[in-house]
Structures are given as structure tokens and as C-alpha cells.
Amino acid sequence: MMNAVAMEPSTKNKPLEVINPINLRHNMGVLAFMRNFMAVITGIVVGILGIEGWSGFLPHIAVQLLCAAAMTLKGAANPKKYFHTWSNFLFFEVLSSTTLLTYILFWMIFYNVAHIF
């Protein structure tokens, strides 16, 4: 009976680890959703607190780094089992246009609601 896992030519005892592209896409989608959700929550909090200017971006960066730390603790056993590289696991969509613009949108909306109107 043949082994279903592909073998590396140089080492016959060690199977080649293959990542399913559908599962990888799902995992990346979960990371993107979590980062966008945290951008929304952080934008709401920063807007209500009334933080203005460039200092308003510091909480966003801090929360995104905390997300990376939380993901490391949650999946620290072997992230290469679920993602291609550590950088994809830790920094996927940290400062992407979607996450950053979502943060700015909720920051401005809740700043205006709490302090201007």
C-alpha cells in the first residue's frame, strides 16, 4: 500500500508537508476578519476617548501587535502547519488598506458622534 503523503527525494523517512490551499485560504480569511474586527473595536474606543492627530494611530498599531501576540499564543505549537511562513501568520493585513481604512472610518465616526454632535 502506497503512502498518500509525498516524500522528499533526499530523505525517504520524512514526509513532505503539504498545505491544502482551501484550508490556507480559510485560515487567512479568519486572520483578516479578526484584524478588521479589532480595527473596528479600537476605532470606536479611540473615537469615544477623543484622541486626535498622529497619536491616534498608536493604539491601532499596539492592538495589531497584541493580536499577533495572541495568535502566537493560540497557535504557537506549529504555525507552519497552517500557514506558509511566520510572517504570514503574524503580520498578515496588519497595515493593509482595508484594516487601516476601517480603523480610520470608525475612529472618525465615533469621534464625531461623541464630541461634535
**Three-class SS of 57-106:** HHHHHHHHHHHHHHHHHHCCCCHHHCCCCHHHHHHCCCCCHHHHHHHHHH
Residue 77 in this model has a pLDDT that exceeds 80: no
Looking at residue 92, its pLDDT comes to 78
Q: What is the pLDDT of residues 85-110, one digit of tens each?
A: 777 777 777 778 889 999 999 999 99
Residue 3 in this model has a pLDDT that exceeds 50: no
Looking at residue 70, its pLDDT comes to 84
Q: What average pLDDT score do residues 22-35 get?
A: 87
Q: In the chain, what are the domain boundaries?
A: 21-116
Phi-psi region of 46 (alpha: psi -120 to 50; beta: other; left: phi over 0): alpha
Rg value, the chain, Cα: 20
For residue 94, give the nearest of 38, 23, 21 by alpha carbon: 38
Which DSSP letter does residue 117 get?
-
Q: What is the pLDDT of residues 44-67, one digit of tens each?
A: 999 999 999 999 999 999 999 898
Give the integer Cα–Cα distance in Å for 113 and 42: 16
